[in-house]
C-alpha cells in the first residue's frame, strides 16, 4: 500500500524532497531563518552532522559535533519566529524539539539566533529555556 513520498522530519507536513532535502544536499540555501532551523533539525534527525557544521557560524561552532548515539530526534514545533525573512539579515526562532533517549522522552526548548553569512543563513547561538 503506497502512502506517498516520505514526510519531512521537520514536521512541516510537506514531503522531504520538497522541504528540507534541497538544503541538506546543497542544491539550495534555506531562504529564511525558520527554513534553516527546520533543515538543521532534519539534519540532526538524519545524522547529517556535515550539514549541521556547514550551517553553524564559524565563530560559535564547536570543534566536536559528535552526536549522542542514544538520542533520537523525533519532533519539531516552531513556537515563534522574529524577523529572519528573506529580506532580513538576522532573526530568531523559538522552537521545541522532542527527543528520545533510553531513559524516556524529553524536549529541548531554545530561542536560536541566526544571521546571514555570504548570503546564506547560519545558526549563531541560542538561549535554552527551562
Domain locations in the chain as residue ranges: 16-128
Beta bridge partners of 16: none
pLDDT of the residue at 120: 96
Q: Is the overall model pTM greater than 0.85, yes or no?
A: yes
Class of domain 16-128: alpha beta
pLDDT of the residue at 94: 98
14, 17, 20, 98 from 123: Cα distances, Å: 23, 22, 16, 19
Which ranges of the chain have pLDDT less than 70? 1-2
pLDDT of the residue at 2: 53
pLDDT of the residue at 130: 75
Amino acid at each position: 500500500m503506497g502512502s506517498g513520498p516520505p514526510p519531512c522530519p521537520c514536521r512541516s507536513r510537506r514531503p522531504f524532497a520538497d522541504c528540507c532535502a534541497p538544503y541538506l544536499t546543497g542544491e539550495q540555501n534555506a531562504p529564511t531563518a525558520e527554513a534553516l532551523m527546520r533543515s538543521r533539525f532534519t539534519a540532526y534527525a538524519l545524522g547529517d552532522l556535515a550539514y549541521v557544521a556547514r550551517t553553524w557560524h564559524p565563530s560559535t561552532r564547536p570543534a566536536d559535533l559528535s552526536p549522542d548515539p542514544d538520542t533520537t530526534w523525533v519532533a519539531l514545533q516552531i513556537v515563534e519566529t522574529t524577523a529572519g525573512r528573506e529580506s532580513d539579515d538576522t532573526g530568531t526562532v523559538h522552537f521545541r524539539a522532542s527527543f528520545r533517549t533510553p531513559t524516556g522522552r524529553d524536549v529541548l526548548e531554545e530561542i536560536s539566533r541566526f544571521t546571514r553569512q555570504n548570503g546564506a543563513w547560519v545558526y549563531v547561538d541560542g538561549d535554552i529555556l527551562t
